[in-house]
Amino acid sequence: MSSQTVMVQAEHPSEAPLVRLLAGQAPQGETLCADGSATLLASLFANWQILPALAPTLLEPTLVEQDHARFVRARLAVTAFVQAQVAGCAGFLAALDAAGIRYALLKGAAAGCLLYPARHLRGAWEFDLGVGWDDLEQAEALALDCGFHQAQRDPERGRFVRADRDLRAIVEESHFELGFLARRLLVTNLSDETRAAIRDEPWTHQFWHDATTDAPWCYAVVDIHHKLSLDIELDGLLACSWQKAYPDHVIGLPDFAWFGAHLVFKLYWESVHTYGKGFYQYADLIRLVPLLDPITFLRMVSILREHNLTAAAYHVFKHLPRFGLTLPGHVADFIAEAAVPPPGTDPIDTNDLGDLWPKLWNRR
């Protein structure tokens, strides 16, 4: 078995603070200058999904005072938003269980259960889950019974409105998921500190509506998938799904192999097609890799190979040492082997769209 570390070029100094935060570590060095502090805060806001997992004092030595105050307010508001999502979707998950529908949480909703000490420490805009095609209609009906509505986003107002059924049908026909199912939540147990954070930090008003009143509210949004992508079926993931027990309920989850394969696909595909998007997902991967024993890792690689994503996995995994992660030997071996593409292969045929790292930083 090869060495457990893979040497890569050091990141640009301006990238180092965010890289360390994604790994759950405090940035090194003295307090940033005003411009550097503002840049880091903007990067955190762009990757807001990790905010709940960061301790409120973690950035006190790094950010200038006013930026640190904004970070603390944003963290409070986002954490409350995620907690509201979890609570707002609980009845729907219970209804799926009661109906005997096999489902598995996906993406950020799954990561919160699989990788973090508490579910609300991983943020997401919506609550993603997958069901089989034969259960799709019943799953949607149960969501509607639980208070969700077929909805579409009004970009001008930043709110959801009742969906145009004809437009929704056209969109769903060419996608691998249903349209949005949204439910309005009036949260009545916000702490005074959280309510003040929502009121005083305008950036949080994309999550919270009527934010400057005494009754701020948010949405719970469910995204029901019947595929992982247009080309990746959901059957294999559901066949390997399992239920995690909580004190008063259970939750359906993908196993680590399928969760990891889906994470690699999303991280690579989003970054190479949409500059600057999806960087926060490295926070999930950093937490996942130490949990992948050799057999589980090989299963994940097999899934990726089956869907022509070996090159994607190589480009994603080779950057893990940037985050201070010591690679297990089986991961280092894969990177070394995948670094040399099979002879005579065309990058387009292998979905090799190049390195994702500069694109994650909006560099071309």
| pLDDT tens digit sequence for 275-326 | 678 899 999 999 999 999 999 999 999 999 999 999 999 999 999 999 999 9
**What's the CA gap between 19 and 202, in Å, rounded?**
26
For residue 109, what pLDDT is reported? 97
Q: How many helices (H) and strands (E) does the chain have?
A: 14, 8
| pLDDT tens digit sequence for 61-91 | 999 999 999 999 999 999 999 999 999 999 9
Of the pLDDT bands very low, low, confident and very high (cuts 50, 70, 90), residue 5 is: very low
pLDDT at 148 > cutoff 80: yes
pLDDT at 165 > cutoff 80: no
Model pTM score: 0.92
| pLDDT tens digit sequence for 172-197 | 555 655 678 999 999 999 999 999 99
Stretch 124-142: mean pLDDT, rounded? 95
For residue 350, what pLDDT is reported? 84
**Which amino acid is residue 138, in one-letter code?**
Q
**What's the CA gap between 308 and 346, in Å, rounded?**
12
- DSSP state letters, 292-315: --HHHHHHHHHHHHHTT-HHHHHH
Burial group, residue 276, by CB count within 10 angstroms (0-12, 13-18, 19+): middle
Percentage of residues in the chain having pLDDT higher than 90: 74
User: Quick one: which of 158, 154, 152, 151 has its CA closest to 202?
Assistant: 158
| pLDDT tens digit sequence for 232-242 | 999 999 999 99
Largest distance between two CA atoms of the chain = 65
**Which amino acid is residue 19, in one-letter code?**
V
3-state SS record for 97-130: HHCCCCEEECHHHHHHHHHCCCHHHCCCCCEEEE
